[in-house]
Amino acid sequence: MEKLDIELGIDATGDETEQYAEWLRAQGHTVKLGTSTGTYINGVWTSTDEELSELSNKFWNSYCES
């Protein structure tokens, strides 16, 4: 999978967020905590892009299963 730039929304805070961010980094992605409540992948808000929204959900589900 290609390397993605992921910005996690500020509503996702706490220890689990850091663990999730580290998991995403281990998958080869660049991850930072954002300044808004939205999650962005390669600069695109996942709430406005169905494909990226599905990808974001896939990442979360894979993390939860690991």
DSSP character string of 2-62: ---EEEE-TTS-SHHHHHHHHHHHHTT-EEEE-SSSS-EETTEEGGG-HHHHHHHHHHHHH
Rounded to an integer, the average pLDDT of 42-57 is 96
The string of pLDDT tens digits covering residues 19-40 is 999 999 999 999 998 878 889 9
pTM of the model: 0.85
Query: For residue 45, what pLDDT is reported?
Result: 95
Query: For residue 1, what pLDDT is reported?
Result: 66
